[in-house]
Structure 1
Protein backbone atom coordinates (compact mmCIF):
# COMPACT_ATOMS: atom_id res chain seq x y z
CA UNK A 1 0.00 0.00 0.00
CA UNK A 2 1.20 3.49 -0.78
CA UNK A 3 0.76 6.38 1.63
CA UNK A 4 0.18 9.78 0.11
CA UNK A 5 0.19 13.15 1.83
CA UNK A 6 -2.76 15.52 1.60
CA UNK A 7 -1.09 18.65 0.25
CA UNK A 8 2.14 20.47 -0.48
CA UNK A 9 4.08 21.93 2.39
CA UNK A 10 6.87 24.55 2.84
CA UNK A 11 9.59 24.03 0.20
CA UNK A 12 13.02 22.88 1.30
CA UNK A 13 16.39 23.34 -0.44
CA UNK A 14 15.96 20.54 -2.98
CA UNK A 15 12.24 20.68 -3.63
CA UNK A 16 11.23 18.44 -0.70
CA UNK A 17 8.33 20.12 1.09
CA UNK A 18 7.35 20.31 4.69
CA UNK A 19 4.90 22.44 6.67
CA UNK A 20 5.93 24.90 9.35
CA UNK A 21 3.45 23.32 11.81
CA UNK A 22 5.47 20.12 11.78
CA UNK A 23 3.62 18.27 14.58
CA UNK A 24 1.27 17.36 11.70
CA UNK A 25 4.10 15.20 10.40
CA UNK A 26 4.85 13.43 13.64
CA UNK A 27 1.50 11.65 13.97
CA UNK A 28 -1.29 11.79 11.39
CA UNK A 29 -4.06 9.70 9.87
CA UNK A 30 -3.08 9.39 6.19
CA UNK A 31 -5.57 8.38 3.50
CA UNK A 32 -4.62 5.22 1.59
CA UNK A 33 -5.22 4.42 -2.07
CA UNK A 34 -7.77 1.75 -1.16
CA UNK A 35 -9.97 4.28 0.66
CA UNK A 36 -8.92 3.39 4.19
CA UNK A 37 -6.67 5.27 6.59
CA UNK A 38 -3.56 4.37 8.54
CA UNK A 39 -1.76 6.07 11.39
CA UNK A 40 1.86 6.71 10.65
CA UNK A 41 4.67 8.68 12.20
CA UNK A 42 7.98 9.91 10.90
CA UNK A 43 9.44 8.73 14.20
CA UNK A 44 8.84 5.11 13.18
CA UNK A 45 11.72 5.51 10.74
CA UNK A 46 15.25 4.74 11.84
CA UNK A 47 17.05 7.91 13.05
CA UNK A 48 19.76 7.45 10.41
CA UNK A 49 17.12 7.54 7.65
CA UNK A 50 15.56 10.69 9.10
CA UNK A 51 18.95 12.33 9.40
CA UNK A 52 20.47 11.39 6.04
CA UNK A 53 17.45 11.19 3.69
CA UNK A 54 14.92 13.68 5.06
CA UNK A 55 16.48 16.41 7.19
CA UNK A 56 19.39 16.96 4.78
CA UNK A 57 16.87 18.09 2.14
CA UNK A 58 15.49 20.95 4.22
CA UNK A 59 16.60 24.57 4.39
CA UNK A 60 17.57 26.46 7.54
CA UNK A 61 14.08 27.72 8.40
CA UNK A 62 12.52 24.27 7.95
CA UNK A 63 15.21 22.69 10.14
CA UNK A 64 14.46 25.27 12.83
CA UNK A 65 10.80 24.21 12.70
CA UNK A 66 11.77 20.55 12.92
CA UNK A 67 13.66 21.19 16.14
CA UNK A 68 10.48 22.46 17.85
CA UNK A 69 8.22 19.51 17.04
CA UNK A 70 9.32 16.87 19.55
CA UNK A 71 12.22 15.84 21.73
CA UNK A 72 13.40 13.11 19.34
CA UNK A 73 13.72 15.40 16.33
CA UNK A 74 15.17 18.15 18.51
CA UNK A 75 17.87 15.73 19.66
CA UNK A 76 18.78 14.84 16.07
CA UNK A 77 18.95 18.46 14.91
CA UNK A 78 21.02 19.42 17.96
CA UNK A 79 23.85 17.01 17.17
CA UNK A 80 27.11 18.47 15.90
CA UNK A 81 27.60 15.40 13.68
CA UNK A 82 24.31 16.14 11.90
CA UNK A 83 25.38 19.69 10.99
CA UNK A 84 28.91 18.58 10.09
CA UNK A 85 27.57 15.93 7.70
CA UNK A 86 25.10 18.45 6.29
CA UNK A 87 27.94 20.89 5.58
CA UNK A 88 30.06 18.19 3.93
CA UNK A 89 27.23 16.94 1.72
CA UNK A 90 26.24 20.48 0.70
CA UNK A 91 29.77 21.78 0.16
CA UNK A 92 32.32 18.96 -0.44
CA UNK A 93 35.18 21.43 0.05
CA UNK A 94 34.28 21.67 3.75
CA UNK A 95 35.46 18.08 4.19
CA UNK A 96 39.01 19.42 4.01
CA UNK A 97 40.86 18.94 7.33
CA UNK A 98 41.79 22.64 7.35
CA UNK A 99 38.13 23.69 7.02
CA UNK A 100 37.03 21.19 9.66
CA UNK A 101 39.55 22.77 12.04
CA UNK A 102 38.30 26.28 11.26
CA UNK A 103 34.63 25.33 11.73
CA UNK A 104 35.37 24.20 15.28
CA UNK A 105 36.13 27.85 16.12
CA UNK A 106 32.63 29.01 15.17
CA UNK A 107 30.33 29.83 18.13
CA UNK A 108 28.18 26.73 17.58
CA UNK A 109 30.49 24.77 15.32
CA UNK A 110 29.03 23.36 12.12
CA UNK A 111 25.58 24.70 12.90
CA UNK A 112 26.85 28.30 12.91
CA UNK A 113 28.86 27.69 9.74
CA UNK A 114 25.86 26.25 7.91
CA UNK A 115 23.64 29.13 9.00
CA UNK A 116 26.21 31.69 7.81
CA UNK A 117 26.89 29.98 4.49
CA UNK A 118 23.49 28.69 3.41
CA UNK A 119 22.12 32.11 2.46
CA UNK A 120 23.13 33.81 -0.78
CA UNK A 121 23.45 37.60 -0.38
CA UNK A 122 20.75 39.68 -2.08
CA UNK A 123 21.05 43.23 -3.41
CA UNK A 124 18.34 44.45 -1.03
CA UNK A 125 19.88 42.94 2.09
CA UNK A 126 22.55 44.40 4.30
CA UNK A 127 25.43 43.05 6.29
CA UNK A 128 24.99 43.60 10.05
CA UNK A 129 27.29 46.19 11.58
CA UNK A 130 29.14 43.65 13.68
CA UNK A 131 29.80 41.30 10.75
CA UNK A 132 32.57 43.33 9.11
CA UNK A 133 35.90 41.65 8.76
CA UNK A 134 38.68 43.73 10.29
CA UNK A 135 41.76 42.95 8.22
CA UNK A 136 43.98 44.16 11.07
CA UNK A 137 42.75 41.17 13.06
CA UNK A 138 42.21 38.80 10.12
CA UNK A 139 45.56 37.71 8.74
CA UNK A 140 43.93 35.22 6.40
CA UNK A 141 40.76 34.70 4.37
CA UNK A 142 39.80 31.20 3.27
CA UNK A 143 37.86 30.39 0.12
CA UNK A 144 35.95 27.10 -0.07
CA UNK A 145 34.82 26.56 -3.65
CA UNK A 146 32.72 23.84 -5.28
CA UNK A 147 31.93 23.91 -9.00
CA UNK A 148 29.35 21.56 -10.53
CA UNK A 149 27.98 20.77 -13.94
CA UNK A 150 24.57 19.35 -13.18
CA UNK A 151 25.30 16.62 -10.63
CA UNK A 152 28.96 16.18 -11.55
CA UNK A 153 31.52 17.82 -9.27
CA UNK A 154 34.11 19.48 -11.51
CA UNK A 155 36.21 21.22 -8.87
CA UNK A 156 36.39 21.28 -5.07
CA UNK A 157 39.14 23.44 -3.65
CA UNK A 158 40.22 25.36 -0.55
CA UNK A 159 42.48 28.38 -1.02
CA UNK A 160 44.00 30.55 1.70
CA UNK A 161 44.66 34.25 1.04
CA UNK A 162 46.86 36.31 3.34
CA UNK A 163 45.63 39.85 4.03
CA UNK A 164 48.52 41.56 5.83
CA UNK A 165 51.09 42.19 3.10
CA UNK A 166 51.33 45.43 1.15
CA UNK A 167 50.90 43.49 -2.07
CA UNK A 168 47.43 42.43 -0.93
CA UNK A 169 46.31 45.74 0.57
CA UNK A 170 47.56 47.87 -2.32
CA UNK A 171 46.31 45.65 -5.16
CA UNK A 172 42.82 45.04 -6.54
CA UNK A 173 41.08 42.36 -4.48
CA UNK A 174 41.32 39.11 -6.38
CA UNK A 175 41.42 35.43 -5.46
CA UNK A 176 42.39 32.76 -7.99
CA UNK A 177 41.48 29.18 -7.26
CA UNK A 178 43.62 27.64 -9.98
CA UNK A 179 47.37 27.98 -10.38
CA UNK A 180 48.55 29.99 -13.45
CA UNK A 181 49.07 26.94 -15.68
CA UNK A 182 46.54 24.63 -14.03
CA UNK A 183 43.73 23.12 -16.10
CA UNK A 184 40.62 21.26 -14.93
CA UNK A 185 39.66 18.69 -17.55
CA UNK A 186 36.03 17.66 -17.99
CA UNK A 187 34.03 15.26 -20.14
CA UNK A 188 31.68 18.04 -21.28
CA UNK A 189 31.64 18.66 -25.03
CA UNK A 190 32.63 22.22 -25.83
CA UNK A 191 29.63 24.20 -27.16
CA UNK A 192 29.31 24.51 -30.94
CA UNK A 193 26.22 26.71 -31.07
CA UNK A 194 24.53 29.51 -29.15
CA UNK A 195 21.99 27.08 -27.75
CA UNK A 196 24.78 24.74 -26.62
CA UNK A 197 26.43 27.65 -24.79
CA UNK A 198 23.15 28.43 -23.04
CA UNK A 199 22.70 24.76 -22.18
CA UNK A 200 26.16 24.65 -20.60
CA UNK A 201 25.36 27.83 -18.70
CA UNK A 202 22.12 26.32 -17.35
CA UNK A 203 24.03 23.28 -16.09
CA UNK A 204 26.72 25.14 -14.13
CA UNK A 205 26.42 25.69 -10.37
CA UNK A 206 28.98 27.15 -8.00
CA UNK A 207 29.38 27.74 -4.30
CA UNK A 208 32.08 30.13 -3.08
CA UNK A 209 32.24 30.56 0.69
CA UNK A 210 34.56 33.22 2.08
CA UNK A 211 35.66 32.39 5.63
CA UNK A 212 37.12 34.60 8.35
CA UNK A 213 38.92 31.95 10.37
CA UNK A 214 39.94 34.26 13.22
CA UNK A 215 36.47 35.74 13.68
CA UNK A 216 34.55 32.51 13.22
CA UNK A 217 32.40 33.89 10.40
CA UNK A 218 31.57 32.87 6.85
CA UNK A 219 29.43 34.07 3.96
CA UNK A 220 28.51 32.92 0.47
CA UNK A 221 29.73 35.42 -2.13
CA UNK A 222 28.47 33.71 -5.29
CA UNK A 223 25.13 33.38 -6.99
CA UNK A 224 24.22 29.72 -7.30
CA UNK A 225 23.99 29.83 -11.11
CA UNK A 226 25.66 32.08 -13.72
CA UNK A 227 24.06 35.45 -14.40
CA UNK A 228 25.97 36.18 -17.60
CA UNK A 229 28.05 34.72 -20.41
CA UNK A 230 30.76 36.17 -22.65
CA UNK A 231 31.67 33.89 -25.54
CA UNK A 232 34.41 34.29 -28.13
CA UNK A 233 34.20 32.15 -31.24
CA UNK A 234 37.57 33.44 -32.42
CA UNK A 235 39.59 32.45 -29.36
CA UNK A 236 37.44 29.47 -28.43
CA UNK A 237 36.79 30.68 -24.88
CA UNK A 238 33.70 31.25 -22.80
CA UNK A 239 33.45 33.20 -19.55
CA UNK A 240 30.58 32.46 -17.20
CA UNK A 241 29.87 35.13 -14.59
CA UNK A 242 28.48 34.56 -11.14
CA UNK A 243 27.72 37.54 -8.93
CA UNK A 244 26.46 38.85 -5.59
CA UNK A 245 25.98 42.37 -4.23
CA UNK A 246 26.73 43.49 -0.68
CA UNK A 247 26.31 46.69 1.25
CA UNK A 248 26.59 47.88 4.82
CA UNK A 249 24.23 49.69 7.16
CA UNK A 250 26.98 52.26 7.59
CA UNK A 251 27.41 53.08 3.88
CA UNK A 252 25.13 54.60 1.20
CA UNK A 253 23.87 52.53 -1.72
CA UNK A 254 26.46 54.18 -3.94
CA UNK A 255 29.07 52.20 -1.98
CA UNK A 256 27.62 48.83 -2.90
CA UNK A 257 30.27 46.14 -3.29
CA UNK A 258 29.91 43.70 -6.15
CA UNK A 259 31.46 40.23 -5.98
CA UNK A 260 32.19 39.15 -9.54
CA UNK A 261 33.18 35.52 -10.02
CA UNK A 262 34.47 34.19 -13.32
CA UNK A 263 34.66 30.65 -14.65
CA UNK A 264 36.60 30.65 -17.93
CA UNK A 265 36.38 27.61 -20.16
CA UNK A 266 38.28 26.73 -23.33
CA UNK A 267 38.03 24.04 -25.97
CA UNK A 268 40.51 21.21 -25.50
CA UNK A 269 42.27 19.41 -28.35
CA UNK A 270 39.72 16.58 -28.30
CA UNK A 271 36.74 18.92 -28.38
CA UNK A 272 35.99 18.70 -24.66
CA UNK A 273 35.71 21.59 -22.22
CA UNK A 274 38.58 22.63 -19.97
CA UNK A 275 38.29 25.04 -17.05
CA UNK A 276 41.21 27.48 -17.08
CA UNK A 277 40.11 30.10 -14.54
CA UNK A 278 37.97 30.30 -11.41
CA UNK A 279 38.40 33.70 -9.80
CA UNK A 280 36.80 36.27 -7.51
CA UNK A 281 37.10 40.05 -7.80
CA UNK A 282 35.38 42.85 -5.92
CA UNK A 283 34.43 46.11 -7.56
CA UNK A 284 32.23 49.15 -7.05
CA UNK A 285 28.62 49.19 -8.17
CA UNK A 286 29.62 51.25 -11.21
CA UNK A 287 31.58 48.26 -12.52
CA UNK A 288 34.68 50.38 -13.09
CA UNK A 289 36.15 50.83 -9.63
CA UNK A 290 38.30 47.88 -8.61
CA UNK A 291 38.38 47.60 -4.82
CA UNK A 292 41.80 47.33 -3.28
CA UNK A 293 42.42 44.46 -0.88
CA UNK A 294 42.81 46.80 2.10
CA UNK A 295 39.47 48.52 1.41
CA UNK A 296 37.19 45.59 0.63
CA UNK A 297 35.72 45.39 4.12
Structure 2
Protein backbone atom coordinates (compact mmCIF):
# COMPACT_ATOMS: atom_id res chain seq x y z
CA UNK A 1 0.00 0.00 0.00
CA UNK A 2 1.32 3.46 -0.86
CA UNK A 3 1.42 5.90 2.00
CA UNK A 4 -0.30 9.22 1.48
CA UNK A 5 0.11 12.48 3.34
CA UNK A 6 -3.19 11.84 5.19
CA UNK A 7 -2.02 8.57 6.73
CA UNK A 8 -0.18 8.81 10.06
CA UNK A 9 3.22 7.12 10.04
CA UNK A 10 3.53 3.77 11.77
CA UNK A 11 6.35 3.80 14.28
CA UNK A 12 8.11 1.01 16.12
CA UNK A 13 6.93 2.22 19.48
CA UNK A 14 3.43 3.07 18.37
CA UNK A 15 4.11 6.72 19.19
CA UNK A 16 2.80 9.47 16.93
CA UNK A 17 6.32 10.76 16.35
CA UNK A 18 8.80 8.54 14.45
CA UNK A 19 12.35 8.28 15.77
CA UNK A 20 15.51 8.84 13.70
CA UNK A 21 19.19 8.20 14.42
CA UNK A 22 21.74 10.24 12.43
CA UNK A 23 24.94 8.19 12.40
CA UNK A 24 27.82 10.55 11.69
CA UNK A 25 26.02 13.60 13.03
CA UNK A 26 29.14 15.75 13.40
CA UNK A 27 29.96 15.97 9.68
CA UNK A 28 28.73 18.67 7.31
CA UNK A 29 25.80 16.64 5.99
CA UNK A 30 24.86 15.30 9.43
CA UNK A 31 24.88 18.77 10.97
CA UNK A 32 22.75 20.08 8.12
CA UNK A 33 20.22 17.28 8.56
CA UNK A 34 19.93 17.91 12.29
CA UNK A 35 19.45 21.64 11.75
CA UNK A 36 16.65 21.00 9.27
CA UNK A 37 15.00 18.49 11.59
CA UNK A 38 15.04 21.01 14.43
CA UNK A 39 13.36 23.57 12.20
CA UNK A 40 10.75 21.20 10.77
CA UNK A 41 9.96 19.08 13.82
CA UNK A 42 7.79 15.99 13.49
CA UNK A 43 10.52 13.47 14.35
CA UNK A 44 12.41 12.50 17.48
CA UNK A 45 16.17 12.51 16.93
CA UNK A 46 18.09 9.92 18.95
CA UNK A 47 21.77 10.28 19.83
CA UNK A 48 24.55 7.92 20.81
CA UNK A 49 27.22 8.82 23.36
CA UNK A 50 30.52 9.85 21.80
CA UNK A 51 32.40 7.02 23.49
CA UNK A 52 29.86 4.48 22.13
CA UNK A 53 29.97 5.53 18.48
CA UNK A 54 32.10 2.53 17.48
CA UNK A 55 30.50 0.12 19.93
CA UNK A 56 28.50 -2.26 17.72
CA UNK A 57 26.37 -3.48 20.61
CA UNK A 58 25.42 0.02 21.72
CA UNK A 59 24.71 1.07 18.15
CA UNK A 60 22.56 -1.99 17.53
CA UNK A 61 20.55 -1.35 20.70
CA UNK A 62 19.88 2.22 19.63
CA UNK A 63 18.92 1.22 16.09
CA UNK A 64 16.38 -1.25 17.48
CA UNK A 65 14.56 1.74 18.99
CA UNK A 66 14.30 3.91 15.88
CA UNK A 67 12.30 3.85 12.66
CA UNK A 68 15.04 5.18 10.38
CA UNK A 69 18.83 5.45 10.43
CA UNK A 70 20.51 8.14 8.32
CA UNK A 71 24.15 7.31 7.58
CA UNK A 72 26.47 10.31 7.18
CA UNK A 73 29.66 8.26 7.19
CA UNK A 74 32.60 7.43 4.91
CA UNK A 75 31.86 4.55 2.55
CA UNK A 76 33.62 1.84 4.55
CA UNK A 77 31.99 2.88 7.82
CA UNK A 78 28.59 3.01 6.10
CA UNK A 79 29.09 -0.54 4.85
CA UNK A 80 29.91 -1.70 8.39
CA UNK A 81 26.71 -0.19 9.75
CA UNK A 82 24.62 -1.66 6.93
CA UNK A 83 26.17 -5.08 7.64
CA UNK A 84 25.09 -4.66 11.27
CA UNK A 85 21.58 -3.68 10.18
CA UNK A 86 21.40 -6.78 7.98
CA UNK A 87 21.87 -8.98 11.06
CA UNK A 88 18.86 -7.41 12.81
CA UNK A 89 16.10 -9.03 10.76
CA UNK A 90 12.67 -7.60 11.42
CA UNK A 91 14.06 -5.39 14.19
CA UNK A 92 16.08 -3.38 11.65
CA UNK A 93 14.94 0.15 10.89
CA UNK A 94 14.87 1.62 7.43
CA UNK A 95 18.17 3.10 6.31
CA UNK A 96 19.06 6.17 4.24
CA UNK A 97 22.73 6.27 3.24
CA UNK A 98 24.36 9.58 2.32
CA UNK A 99 27.70 8.02 1.30
CA UNK A 100 28.57 6.78 -2.19
CA UNK A 101 28.65 3.15 -1.05
CA UNK A 102 25.25 2.05 -2.42
CA UNK A 103 24.26 4.63 -5.02
CA UNK A 104 24.40 2.16 -7.90
CA UNK A 105 23.44 -0.95 -5.89
CA UNK A 106 20.45 -2.67 -7.55
CA UNK A 107 18.73 -3.50 -4.26
CA UNK A 108 18.74 0.10 -3.05
CA UNK A 109 16.23 2.77 -4.15
CA UNK A 110 17.84 5.90 -5.53
CA UNK A 111 16.84 8.90 -3.45
CA UNK A 112 16.03 11.43 -6.16
CA UNK A 113 12.21 11.55 -5.92
CA UNK A 114 11.93 13.61 -9.11
CA UNK A 115 13.91 11.10 -11.19
CA UNK A 116 10.80 9.51 -12.71
CA UNK A 117 7.03 9.61 -12.08
CA UNK A 118 7.15 6.50 -9.87
CA UNK A 119 10.40 7.24 -8.03
CA UNK A 120 8.82 8.85 -4.95
CA UNK A 121 6.68 5.74 -4.45
CA UNK A 122 9.78 3.53 -4.72
CA UNK A 123 11.42 5.60 -1.97
CA UNK A 124 8.31 5.45 0.23
CA UNK A 125 8.21 1.67 0.20
CA UNK A 126 11.95 0.93 0.23
CA UNK A 127 13.85 -0.37 3.25
CA UNK A 128 17.13 0.97 1.88
CA UNK A 129 17.58 4.28 0.07
CA UNK A 130 20.79 5.91 -1.20
CA UNK A 131 20.91 9.70 -1.03
CA UNK A 132 22.19 11.16 -4.33
CA UNK A 133 25.46 12.99 -4.80
CA UNK A 134 25.37 16.74 -5.26
CA UNK A 135 26.90 16.86 -8.74
CA UNK A 136 24.84 13.92 -10.09
CA UNK A 137 21.64 15.54 -8.80
CA UNK A 138 22.14 18.46 -11.17
CA UNK A 139 23.43 16.42 -14.11
CA UNK A 140 20.76 13.72 -13.91
CA UNK A 141 17.99 16.28 -13.52
CA UNK A 142 19.10 17.91 -16.78
CA UNK A 143 19.84 14.79 -18.81
CA UNK A 144 17.33 12.10 -17.84
CA UNK A 145 14.21 13.85 -19.26
CA UNK A 146 15.95 14.47 -22.57
CA UNK A 147 17.09 10.86 -22.88
CA UNK A 148 13.63 9.59 -21.91
CA UNK A 149 12.00 11.84 -24.55
CA UNK A 150 14.49 10.87 -27.28
CA UNK A 151 15.92 14.40 -27.57
CA UNK A 152 19.34 13.18 -26.46
CA UNK A 153 20.67 9.81 -27.56
CA UNK A 154 21.92 7.53 -24.80
CA UNK A 155 25.32 7.27 -26.50
CA UNK A 156 25.78 11.03 -26.91
CA UNK A 157 29.30 12.13 -25.84
CA UNK A 158 28.12 14.08 -22.79
CA UNK A 159 30.44 16.46 -20.97
CA UNK A 160 29.45 17.68 -17.51
CA UNK A 161 31.24 20.68 -16.04
CA UNK A 162 30.52 21.80 -12.50
CA UNK A 163 31.64 24.15 -9.75
CA UNK A 164 30.87 23.78 -6.06
CA UNK A 165 31.46 25.70 -2.89
CA UNK A 166 34.24 24.32 -0.73
CA UNK A 167 31.90 22.95 1.96
CA UNK A 168 31.42 19.81 -0.12
CA UNK A 169 35.07 18.85 0.17
CA UNK A 170 35.19 17.74 3.79
CA UNK A 171 36.95 19.09 6.85
CA UNK A 172 40.44 19.45 5.38
CA UNK A 173 39.25 21.37 2.32
CA UNK A 174 37.01 23.60 4.42
CA UNK A 175 39.93 24.38 6.72
CA UNK A 176 42.26 25.19 3.81
CA UNK A 177 39.84 27.68 2.30
CA UNK A 178 38.96 29.27 5.60
CA UNK A 179 42.62 29.73 6.62
CA UNK A 180 43.52 31.14 3.20
CA UNK A 181 45.90 28.39 2.08
CA UNK A 182 43.69 27.00 -0.71
CA UNK A 183 43.74 28.42 -4.25
CA UNK A 184 40.84 30.68 -5.24
CA UNK A 185 39.67 28.13 -7.82
CA UNK A 186 40.79 24.76 -9.09
CA UNK A 187 39.72 21.91 -11.34
CA UNK A 188 40.00 18.41 -9.95
CA UNK A 189 39.00 14.86 -10.85
CA UNK A 190 41.23 15.09 -13.92
CA UNK A 191 42.13 11.42 -13.67
CA UNK A 192 38.67 10.57 -15.10
CA UNK A 193 37.83 8.35 -12.10
CA UNK A 194 35.56 10.60 -10.04
CA UNK A 195 33.29 8.47 -7.87
CA UNK A 196 30.14 10.29 -9.04
CA UNK A 197 30.50 9.19 -12.68
CA UNK A 198 28.89 5.70 -12.36
CA UNK A 199 25.88 7.20 -10.60
CA UNK A 200 25.59 9.97 -13.17
CA UNK A 201 25.74 7.52 -16.09
CA UNK A 202 23.33 4.97 -14.63
CA UNK A 203 20.48 7.28 -13.66
CA UNK A 204 20.79 9.57 -16.68
CA UNK A 205 20.45 6.37 -18.76
CA UNK A 206 23.64 7.03 -20.71
CA UNK A 207 25.31 4.11 -22.46
CA UNK A 208 28.49 6.13 -23.11
CA UNK A 209 30.52 7.14 -20.05
CA UNK A 210 30.30 10.94 -19.66
CA UNK A 211 33.30 13.19 -19.18
CA UNK A 212 32.92 14.91 -15.81
CA UNK A 213 35.09 17.87 -14.80
CA UNK A 214 34.31 19.22 -11.31
CA UNK A 215 35.83 22.32 -9.76
CA UNK A 216 35.77 24.17 -6.46
CA UNK A 217 35.68 27.90 -5.83
CA UNK A 218 36.37 30.16 -2.88
CA UNK A 219 32.79 30.34 -1.62
CA UNK A 220 31.30 28.16 1.08
CA UNK A 221 28.27 26.63 -0.60
CA UNK A 222 26.28 26.68 -3.80
CA UNK A 223 26.70 24.80 -7.06
CA UNK A 224 26.35 25.07 -10.82
CA UNK A 225 26.33 21.99 -13.08
CA UNK A 226 26.47 22.60 -16.83
CA UNK A 227 26.15 20.43 -19.93
CA UNK A 228 27.08 21.88 -23.37
CA UNK A 229 25.23 20.55 -26.41
CA UNK A 230 25.70 20.81 -30.18
CA UNK A 231 22.02 20.85 -31.15
CA UNK A 232 22.50 19.83 -34.77
CA UNK A 233 24.06 16.54 -33.60
CA UNK A 234 21.02 15.58 -31.51
CA UNK A 235 18.09 13.44 -32.71
CA UNK A 236 15.58 15.72 -34.42
CA UNK A 237 17.88 18.72 -34.00
CA UNK A 238 15.80 20.25 -31.15
CA UNK A 239 15.93 23.94 -30.32
CA UNK A 240 16.06 25.56 -26.91
CA UNK A 241 12.29 25.78 -26.67
CA UNK A 242 11.93 22.02 -27.13
CA UNK A 243 14.63 21.26 -24.57
CA UNK A 244 13.02 23.55 -21.98
CA UNK A 245 9.59 22.04 -22.69
CA UNK A 246 10.90 18.53 -21.97
CA UNK A 247 12.33 19.65 -18.65
CA UNK A 248 9.18 21.57 -17.75
CA UNK A 249 7.02 18.54 -18.51
CA UNK A 250 9.10 16.22 -16.33
CA UNK A 251 9.11 18.53 -13.29
CA UNK A 252 5.63 20.00 -13.58
CA UNK A 253 4.07 20.05 -10.11
CA UNK A 254 7.35 19.44 -8.29
CA UNK A 255 7.79 21.32 -5.02
CA UNK A 256 11.57 21.36 -5.25
CA UNK A 257 12.66 21.21 -8.91
CA UNK A 258 11.72 23.86 -11.46
CA UNK A 259 12.56 24.19 -15.14
CA UNK A 260 13.04 27.91 -15.55
CA UNK A 261 11.27 29.59 -18.49
CA UNK A 262 13.43 30.48 -21.47
CA UNK A 263 12.96 34.18 -20.77
CA UNK A 264 14.52 34.83 -17.37
CA UNK A 265 17.08 37.20 -15.91
CA UNK A 266 19.96 34.74 -16.21
CA UNK A 267 19.29 34.14 -19.91
CA UNK A 268 18.84 37.86 -20.55
CA UNK A 269 22.15 38.68 -18.86
CA UNK A 270 24.00 35.64 -20.17
CA UNK A 271 25.39 34.86 -16.71
CA UNK A 272 24.44 32.91 -13.61
CA UNK A 273 25.93 32.67 -10.11
CA UNK A 274 25.95 29.61 -7.83
CA UNK A 275 24.77 30.85 -4.42
CA UNK A 276 21.18 32.02 -4.98
CA UNK A 277 19.58 28.80 -3.66
CA UNK A 278 21.72 28.40 -0.55
CA UNK A 279 19.89 27.09 2.54
CA UNK A 280 17.07 25.68 0.40
CA UNK A 281 16.10 22.31 -1.06
CA UNK A 282 15.47 23.90 -4.44
CA UNK A 283 16.93 22.92 -7.81
CA UNK A 284 16.62 25.27 -10.79
CA UNK A 285 17.19 24.10 -14.38
CA UNK A 286 18.10 26.54 -17.15
CA UNK A 287 18.42 26.27 -20.92
CA UNK A 288 20.77 28.79 -22.55
CA UNK A 289 20.35 28.31 -26.30
CA UNK A 290 21.39 29.91 -29.58
CA UNK A 291 19.24 29.18 -32.62
CA UNK A 292 21.81 31.03 -34.73
CA UNK A 293 24.67 28.73 -33.74
CA UNK A 294 22.62 25.59 -32.99
CA UNK A 295 24.21 25.33 -29.57
CA UNK A 296 22.93 25.15 -26.02
CA UNK A 297 24.20 24.91 -22.47
CA UNK A 298 21.99 23.30 -19.83
CA UNK A 299 22.62 24.54 -16.30
CA UNK A 300 21.44 23.25 -12.93
CA UNK A 301 21.73 25.47 -9.85
CA UNK A 302 21.42 24.07 -6.32
CA UNK A 303 22.85 24.26 -2.84
CA UNK A 304 25.42 21.48 -2.56
CA UNK A 305 24.46 21.18 1.12
CA UNK A 306 20.72 21.45 0.41
CA UNK A 307 19.22 19.54 -2.51
CA UNK A 308 22.75 18.21 -2.96
CA UNK A 309 22.98 16.65 0.52
CA UNK A 310 21.08 17.46 3.73
CA UNK A 311 17.96 18.89 2.11
CA UNK A 312 17.58 15.85 -0.12
CA UNK A 313 18.13 13.55 2.86
CA UNK A 314 15.31 15.18 4.83
CA UNK A 315 13.04 15.05 1.76
CA UNK A 316 13.75 11.32 1.43
CA UNK A 317 13.39 10.75 5.18
CA UNK A 318 9.90 12.25 5.11
CA UNK A 319 8.89 10.00 2.23
CA UNK A 320 10.28 6.91 3.98
CA UNK A 321 8.45 7.73 7.22
CA UNK A 322 5.15 8.60 5.56
CA UNK A 323 5.38 12.24 6.59
CA UNK A 324 4.08 15.08 4.40
CA UNK A 325 6.54 16.97 2.24
CA UNK A 326 7.97 20.15 3.71
Higher share of residues assigned strand:
1
Same fold (TM over 0.5): no
Higher helix proportion (structure 1 or 2): 2
TM-score normalized with structure 1 length: 0.28
Larger radius of gyration: 1
TM-score by length of 2: 0.26
Structure with more relative contact order (C-alpha pairs < 8 Å, separation 6 or more): 2
